[in-house]
C-alpha cells in the first residue's frame, strides 16, 4: 500500500456493527491484501524492521539515556489463574501512580540485582531492565501475543529461557502479597502481580520511518517517530482531521462505538480530502480515494 496515503490504524473489523458509518464508507473503498495482525509487527514494518527494539526506543524517548546498552521491557502486568493455567490479563496499562511504581520496584530490586539486572522505572506503567553486556537473550513474546492466554505458553523456551522463567516466578511470588495490591483492588483496580518481558534490543543508530508524521498516544509509536525525526502529535479531533497526507493516525485503542460517535467528523474530513488506507487490528485492509464517495451502487460489506 502506498505511503502517499494516510494510514488509519483501527480496532478489529468485527467490532464495528452493520450500522456503523465506517461500514458505509468501506462499501465504496477497495479491499486489498491482508497484513499482519500483531501490532508490533505492523510497527516494525513502519520503521526498523523486525525485531523491534521496543525497550530501548521507549527508554530513549522517555528518559534520553538508552545509550549503547541492551534493554528489555519488564512492564507491570496482571495475571489471573483459572482452571487451565494462568492468563495474562493486562500489561503496561494498569494506571499506576509514580509512588506505587516505586514501591513495587523497591521490593523487586534485590531479586533483579542478584540476577545481574538493573530495573529502571522509566514511567509508572513502563519498566525496563538494563542488561549486562553480551547476556544471551531468548525470543520474547510481545504482550499482544499472550493477552488473554495462558502466559506459560508464551514464556521464553529452552536453556536460554530458563533463567527468565525462574526469575518471573520469583517476581510473582514477591508481588503476590504486596499490600498495595489489596489497596488497588479495594479501589476497583487490578493488582500488579507479575511483569512481562518483551522488546529486547539496543537503540538503533539511525531509524527510518515510512510516514510523514504520526498522530497517536501510544508511547512506542511516539518513540519510534521521535527517533526517526518524524513529527509526532497527540491524538485529538483536530490533529486527526488535519493530519498531513502520508501520516499514520493511530486509533486502534478507541472503541468502535466511540469512533462512530466522537471521531467520525474528523475521519470524514480526512476522507474528503486525501487517500486513506484502513488498517484493522484483525489484519484486514482497505484503500480509499476521495472520489470513491461517488460509488453509490456499492452495498455494505458483510
Average pLDDT (206-233) is 89
d(CA 302, CA 23): 9
Neighbours of 99 (CB within 10 A): 10
DSSP 282: T
Neighbours of 230 (CB within 10 A): 21
Q: pLDDT grade, residue 1 (50/70/90)?
A: very low
What are the two backbone dihedrals, phi and then psi, of residue 258, each rounded to the nearest 5 degrees?
Answer: -70, -35
d(CA 290, CA 266): 15
Q: Is the pLDDT confidence value at 302 over 70?
A: no
Average pLDDT, the chain: 90
What is the model's pLDDT at position 2?
46
d(CA 143, CA 75): 9
What is the model's pLDDT at position 82?
86
Nearest C-alpha neighbor of 143 from the set 64, 225, 79, 222:
79
d(CA 124, CA 142): 19
Per DSSP, what are the bridge partners of residue 86?
81
End-to-end CA distance of the chain: 23
Share above pLDDT 70 across residues of the chain, in percent, rounded to a whole number? 94
How do residues 144-192 score in pLDDT, each as one tens digit? 889 999 998 999 999 999 999 999 999 999 999 899 999 999 999 999 9
What is the model's pLDDT at position 265?
94
Share above pLDDT 90 across residues of the chain, in percent, rounded to a whole number? 76
Nearest C-alpha neighbor of 96 from the set 121, 129, 128:
121
What is the model's pLDDT at position 83?
82
Average pLDDT (140-146) is 90
d(CA 275, CA 271): 7
d(CA 302, CA 246): 29
State the helix-helix crossing angle for 219-228 and 39-46, rounded to 10 degrees: 10
d(CA 36, CA 78): 26
pTM strictly above 0.85? yes
Cα angle 98, 220, 273 (rounded to 5 degrees) comes to 125
Q: Is the pLDDT confidence value at 107 over 90?
A: yes
What is the model's pLDDT at position 50?
59
How do residues 17-56 score in pLDDT, each as one tens digit? 999 999 999 999 999 988 777 677 677 666 555 578 999 9
d(CA 291, CA 272): 8
Amino acid at each position: 500500500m502506498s505511503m502517499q496515503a494516510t494510514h488509519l490504524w483501527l480496532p478489529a473489523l468485527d467490532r464495528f456493527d452493520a450500522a456503523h458509518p465506517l461500514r458505509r464508507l468501506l462499501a465504496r473503498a477497495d479491499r486489498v491484501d491482508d497484513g499482519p495482525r500483531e501490532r508490533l509487527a505492523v510497527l516494525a514494518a513502519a520503521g526498523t524492521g523486525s525485531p523491534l527494539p521496543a525497550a530501548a526506543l521507549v527508554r530513549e524517548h522517555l528518559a534520553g539515556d538508552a545509550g549503547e546498552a541492551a534493554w528489555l521491557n519488564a512492564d507491570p502486568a496482571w495475571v489471573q489463574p483459572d482452571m487451565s493455567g494462568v492468563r495474562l490479563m493486562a500489561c503496561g496499562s494498569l494506571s499506576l501512580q509514580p509512588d506505587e511504581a516505586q514501591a513495587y520496584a523497591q521490593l523487586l530490586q534485590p531479586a533483579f540485582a542478584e540476577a545481574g539486572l538493573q530495573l529502571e522505572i522509566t514511567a509508572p506503567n513502563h519498566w525496563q531492565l538494563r542488561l549486562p553486556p553480551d547476556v544471551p537473550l531468548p525470543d520474547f513474546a510481545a504482550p499482544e501475543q499472550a493477552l488473554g492466554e495462558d502466559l506459560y505458553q508464551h514464556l521464553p523456551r529452552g536453556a536460554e529461557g530458563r533463567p527468565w522463567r525462574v526469575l518471573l516466578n520469583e517476581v510473582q511470588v514477591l508481588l503476590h502479597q504486596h499490600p498495595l495490591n489489596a489497596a488497588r483492588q479495594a479501589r476497583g483496580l487490578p493488582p500488579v502481580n507479575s511483569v512481562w518481558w518483551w522488546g529486547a534490543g539496543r537503540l538503533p543508530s539511525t531509524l527510518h520511518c515510512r510516514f510523514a508524521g504520526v498522530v497517536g498516544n501510544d508511547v512506542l509509536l511516539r518513540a519510534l517517530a521521535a527517533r526517526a525525526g518524524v513529527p509526532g502529535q497527540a491524538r485529538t479531533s483536530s490533529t486527526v482531521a488535519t493530519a498531513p497526507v502520508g501520516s499514520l493516525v493511530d486509533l486502534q485503542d478507541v472503541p468502535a462505538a466511540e469512533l462512530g460517535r466522537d471521531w467520525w467528523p474528523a475521519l470524514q474530513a480526512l476522507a474528503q480530502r486525501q487517500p486513506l488506507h484502513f488498517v484493522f487490528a484483525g489484519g484486514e485492509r482497505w484503500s480509499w480515494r476521495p472520489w470513491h464517495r461517488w460509488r453509490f451502487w456499492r452495498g455494505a460489506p458483510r
